[in-house]
Amino acid sequence: MDKQKSYLGTEELPATTPTSDEKTLAILAHILTLVAWFIAPLVIYLIKKDESPFVAAHAKESLNFQITVGLICIGLIITIIGALLLWIVGILALILIIVATIKANDGKLYRYPVNWRLIK
């Protein structure tokens, strides 16, 4: 598989070319986190994990990223100075979500650069 690394994450080509529906669900797994936090990728992962490895990979990655961002935000809220940095985390998360959405649309597997992969 062809892998490409950057400071915005890692992308690689999937084993099989995803269908249009698979791309759409992968896009939704990322973009819906803006309104449904971790619920959207969780539901998509639970529904499609056995049907589509491409969708499952994107939903799992998105779910792990949302958990990571949530834990980082909780850690920052606990500290007074860290609470002032929450907006930076929000902007970075938004940028990475947009990058992941674009990669899903391109039919590539994407891995966030900062992600605790709790769901395997």
Residues of the chain predicted below pLDDT 70:
1-7
- The predicted pLDDT at position 112 comes to 93
- The predicted pLDDT at position 4 comes to 64
- The predicted pLDDT at position 99 comes to 94
- Type of residue numbered 6: S
| Residue at 61 is within a domain | yes
In 3D space, the residue among 120, 106, 118, 115 whose CA is nearest the CA of residue 12 turns out to be 106
| Residue at 32 is within a domain | yes
| Residue at 117 is within a domain | no
Number of structural domains found in the chain: 1
| Residue at 6 is within a domain | no
**pTM: predicted TM-score of the whole model, two decimal places:** 0.88
- The predicted pLDDT at position 117 comes to 85
Query: Which residues form the domain of 86?
Result: 11-106
- The predicted pLDDT at position 120 comes to 80
| Residue at 113 is within a domain | no
| Residue at 20 is within a domain | yes
Alpha helices in 32-118 (DSSP H): 33-36, 39-48, 53-78, 80-83, 86-105
| Residue at 75 is within a domain | yes
- The predicted pLDDT at position 35 comes to 95
